[in-house]
Amino acid sequence: MCAMQERIRRLRIALMLTFVALVIASLIYSRIMAYSLAPTIQPAHLQGLPLWMIPLAYIWDYLSHGWICLLFAFVAAGLVYEFMPKSFIAKHMGSGKVQGYALAAGFAPFFTVCSCTMVPLFAGILYTGAGIGPAISFLLMAPAANVLTILLTGEILSWEIAGIRIIASLVTAVAAGFIISKTPWGKRIEVEHRLNSGTTTTNLGIVKPPLDERLTSALKFGGFLGKQILPFFFLGLVVVSYLEAFLPEEIVATYLTGVGGVLLASVIGGPLYTPTLVEIVLGRGLMNLGMSSAALLSWLMGQPYDIPNMIATSRVVKWKVVLNYALIAWFFSVLFGLAYGLVSGSL
Amino acid sequence: MKMFGTVKVLGPGCPRCQETKRRVMNALSELQLIAEVQEVKDPKEIARHGVLFTPAVIINNEIVSQGKIPEYEEVKKWFLERAPK
């Protein structure tokens, strides 16, 4: 029984690794051939099309250029999630202040999770005794700077923005976490959770499942993420296609550039709920219509504190804390937007 | 049918958690075991069990899996390993 099973296992591993290698190779190939993975359609093109064709042309533009990128992003997200040492993180989260922040902010980018896992994860971090600071840092870092989001920001917008998004999110996340952990109400929550965390559960000594099962799990998770995210992504594309076709560029130029643009973008981009990845698409649409890069950064930084997120989190910590981190995140999105605008002259 | 114990499936209710619960129930019925299957949906409750990643499965206070949908064979193995003789 063992030899046969072994051979089947090896075959499956080989197949899956080949698949992954092909995906990576396609991505690299497209880079070498300087084949842009970003959409190229412009508002002017869209305006000349019949009404029903606008979303189709838009979607085709995105897909024909970006399918490799999307495929790679979901495969990467699945692989990273599976092979991240979760038990290690769970065990070490609670062992000291700096370590907690480093783990939370440092590992958060690797957790592209379905949004439903985000809140239990946040609560879980509180219960490991890591403190409210690292927990908030995680909450703000993960949606903004995870594998999926960053890959797509880089491809569809620019790698400069993607890099800055990471740095800005990191600073915001740690700052918000730190500030809240110093407030009396933040501390109270920490104490409350630490007192309650007498867990009666023991963790099974983690025996790592065989590689082929982990690879399958990874690819399945990537597929699951795709199934969850892509339908809304396409819906977002439809909406944005009409926006790009019909929103007058003068309006965008007036309201979404300059200091006012940064402020407006931060206010809308924050509480406004956009499904995962749609904020990138919408951001690009607005850019095509004339929004400044500074406002774009502000817009993107609003991702972690949209209204549904805040409501879900309020079930774990009180609204006071939620509004706190939302306010701090908003403040930093304005700050970074303005700073980036001034430094890069793109205000 | 043998009396088994308590199995908890933890997750906020998304499709992955439902699928995990389905596999647990099917495994129990296939192995002819009776167990109390609880769903834990409240994030605070989930965290209180020491679970960070959902969906998670806890059998008689032991965390056997977290962060993924367990394979059906794996679920059966858990029960077989712990079934009363």
Q: Is the peptide bond before B70 cis (omega within 30 degrees of 0)?
A: no
Distance between CA atoms of A169 and A337, rounded to whole angstroms?
Answer: 12
In a domain, A297, yes or no: no
Minimum mean pLDDT among A87-91, A217-221, A310-314: which range?
A: A87-91
For residue A208, give both structure tokens: 């790592």
Chain A residues whose CB is inside 8 A of the B72 CB are none
Q: Do B50 and A127 touch (CB under 8 A)?
A: yes
Chain B residues whose CB is inside 8 A of the A204 CB are 62-64
Q: Give A39-56 pLDDT, tens digit per residue.
A: 788 888 888 888 888 888
Distance between CA atoms of A24 and A19, rounded to whole angstroms?
Answer: 9
For residue A1, give both structure tokens: 């029984």
For residue B60, give both structure tokens: 């008689």
Distance between CA atoms of A142 and A105, rounded to whole angstroms?
Answer: 8
Q: Comparing C-alpha atoms, which of B47, B48, B35 is closest to residue B6? A: B35
Which residue(s) pair with B40 in the sheet? B10
Percent of chain A with pLDDT over 90: 24
Neighbouring C-beta atoms of residue A28, cutoff 10 Å: 12
Q: Do A123 and B64 touch (CB under 8 A)?
A: no
Minimum mean pLDDT among A76-80, A329-333, B65-69: which range?
A: B65-69
- Nearest residue, CB atoms, A127 vs list B10, B42, B47: B47
For residue B1, give both structure tokens: 């049918």
Count of domains forming chain B: 1
Residue of A nearest to B10 (CA): A120
Q: Give A236-281 pLDDT, tens digit per residue.
A: 899 988 888 888 888 888 888 889 889 999 999 888 888 888 899 9
Q: Do A114 and B16 touch (CB under 8 A)?
A: yes
CB of A27 within 8 A of CB of A72?
yes
Distance between CA atoms of A241 and A49, rounded to whole angstroms?
Answer: 11
pLDDT over threshold 70, residue A207: no
- Is B2 an interface residue toward A (CB < 8 Å)? no
| Confidence grade of residue A127 (pLDDT, cut at 50, 70, 90) | confident
Chain B residues whose CB is inside 8 A of the A121 CB are 52-54
- Nearest residue, CB atoms, A125 vs list B13, B52, B63: B52
Which residue(s) pair with B36 in the sheet? B6
In a domain, A143, yes or no: yes
- Report which of residues B37 and A207 the model is more confident about: B37
Q: B16: domain CATH number?
A: 3.40.30.10
Distance between CA atoms of A259 and A247, rounded to whole angstroms?
Answer: 21
Task: Specify the pLDDT at position B42.
Answer: 87
Angstroms from B20 CA to nearest CA on chain A: 14
Range of the domain at A217: 2-246
Task: Specify the pLDDT at position B85.
Answer: 64
Task: Specify the pLDDT at position A328.
Answer: 94
- Report which of residues A170 and A100 the model is more confident about: A170
Chain A residues whose CB is inside 8 A of the B81 CB are none
Q: Give A284-328 pLDDT, tens digit per residue.
A: 999 888 899 999 999 999 988 888 889 888 888 889 999 999 999
3-state secondary structure of A206: coil
pLDDT over threshold 90, residue A95: no
3-state secondary structure of B63: strand
Between chain A and chain B, how many beta carbons pairs sit less than 8 Å apart? 94
Q: Give A11-33 pLDDT, tens digit per residue.
A: 988 999 999 999 999 888 887 77
Angstroms from B40 CA to nearest CA on chain A: 11
Task: Specify the pLDDT at position A199.
Answer: 55
Distance between CA atoms of A219 and A152, rounded to whole angstroms?
Answer: 19
Task: Specify the pLDDT at position A67.
Answer: 86
pLDDT over threshold 70, residue A197: no
Task: Specify the pLDDT at position A203.
Answer: 60
In a domain, A285, yes or no: no
| Confidence grade of residue A205 (pLDDT, cut at 50, 70, 90) | low
Angstroms from A5 CA to nearest CA on chain B: 15
Q: Do A116 and B43 touch (CB under 8 A)?
A: no
- Nearest residue, CB atoms, B52 vs list A124, A312, A316: A124
- Is A5 an interface residue toward B (CB < 8 Å)? no
Residue of A nearest to B14 (CA): A116
For residue A117, give both structure tokens: 């896992």
Task: Specify the pLDDT at position B65.
Answer: 86
In a domain, A278, yes or no: no
In a domain, A335, yes or no: no
pLDDT over threshold 70, residue A156: yes
Range of the domain at B20: 2-82
- Report which of residues A299 and A84 the model is more confident about: A299
Distance between CA atoms of A233 and A249, rounded to whole angstroms?
Answer: 24
Q: Give the Å distances, CA to CA, from A204 to A127, A264, B5.
A: 18, 50, 17
| Confidence grade of residue A176 (pLDDT, cut at 50, 70, 90) | very high
Q: Comparing C-alpha atoms, which of A205, A121, A10 is closest to residue B52? A: A121
pLDDT over threshold 90, residue A121: no
Q: What is the residue-averaged pLDDT of chain A? A: 85
